[in-house]
């Protein structure tokens, strides 16, 4: 699951319940495969290929295989693995084997996640299946109000309580998918009524 949140913790449901705490973190990016000289996820190339989705001055980098294994556990030797350069694994350095297929995400300064925000949006009520504030539905209900590829999402109840303080379990909490709370997944209660807002690349606000 691709995750990015604005300076908060999110509760994710994907088979098992987990809690992930992130600051201003980008999506996962996988622009190259190791079938050639190796796997190159260089920051300069990623900035060109995904304009506006990565800050030009990241403060941190995370690397894992596309299946989710941390890079440090693969046994591969890395040519580059830092926030300023990105990541590179060269097949010729691997003692006869090929690099794994990697993906990267970056931690950015907090300002990157707060410059271009949408208004708060509330398209659904929890009286039926639950509260669905999915990005696809929001695009239909509020055309032109949200960018096609948000870089962050914030969720509160309509009274302003942060979603993470409600005790609800969330089915979806993802800037590229939006938000969803399903009533039948709650223990002894139902979903509250939520609203969402997204952070978009700065070009969207211009």
Per-residue burial over 58-90, b if 16 or more Cβ lie within 10 Å, else e, is beebbbbbeeeeebeebebebebbebeebbbbb
pLDDT for residue 112: 82
Tokens of 161: 């309580």
pLDDT for residue 14: 32
Average pLDDT value for residue range 187-192 = 91
Mean pLDDT of the chain: 86
Q: Which residues pair with 74 in a beta bridge?
A: none
Q: Which residues pair with 178 in a beta bridge?
A: 134, 174
pLDDT digits (tens, 9 = 90+) for 35-61: 989 999 999 999 999 888 888 999 999
CA 91, 94, 100 angle in degrees (round to 5)?
65
Tokens of 132: 């669905």
- Half-sphere exposure for 94 (CA within 13 Å, toward CB): 17
Q: Spell out the SS3 assignment of 27-46.
A: CCECCCCCCCCEEEEEHHHH
Q: Could you tell me what percent of the chain has a pLDDT over 90?
A: 65
pLDDT for residue 139: 96
pLDDT for residue 202: 79
pTM, entire model: 0.59
Closest to 88 (Cα-Cα) out of 153, 39, 159 = 39
Confidence of residue 4 (pLDDT cuts 50, 70, 90): very low
How far apart CA 194 and CA 70 sit, in angstroms, is: 34
pLDDT for residue 51: 82
pLDDT at 165 over 60: yes
Closest to 154 (Cα-Cα) out of 112, 187, 197, 100 = 197
Q: 20-29, 103-112, 168-177: which has the minimum mean pLDDT?
A: 20-29
User: Which has more confidence, 5 or 206?
Assistant: 206
């Amino acid at each position: 699951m691709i995750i990015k949140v604005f300076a908060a913790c999110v509760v994710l449901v994907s088979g098992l319940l987990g809690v992930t705490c992130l600051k201003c973190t980008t999506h996962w990016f996988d622009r190259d495969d190791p079938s050639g000289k190796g796997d190159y996820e260089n920051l300069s190339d990623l900035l060109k290929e995904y304009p506006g989705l990565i800050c030009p001055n990241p403060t941190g980098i995370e690397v894992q295989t596309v299946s989710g294994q941390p890079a440090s556990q693969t046994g591969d030797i890395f040519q580059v693995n830092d926030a300023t350069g990105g990541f590179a694994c060269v097949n010729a350095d691997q003692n006869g084997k090929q690099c794994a297929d990697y993906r990267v995400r970056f931690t950015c300064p907090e300002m990157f996640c707060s410059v271009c925000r949408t208004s708060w949006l509330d398209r659904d009520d929890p009286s039926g299946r639950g509260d669905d504030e999915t990005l696809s539905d929001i695009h239909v209900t509020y055309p032109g109000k949200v960018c096609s590829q948000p870089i962050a999402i914030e969720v509160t109840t309509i009274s302003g309580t942060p979603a993470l303080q409600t005790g609800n379990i969330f089915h979806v909490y993802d800037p590229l998918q939006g938000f969803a709370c399903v009533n039948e997944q709650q223990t002894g209660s139902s979903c509250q009524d939520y609203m969402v807002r997204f952070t978009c690349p700065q070009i969207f606000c211009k």
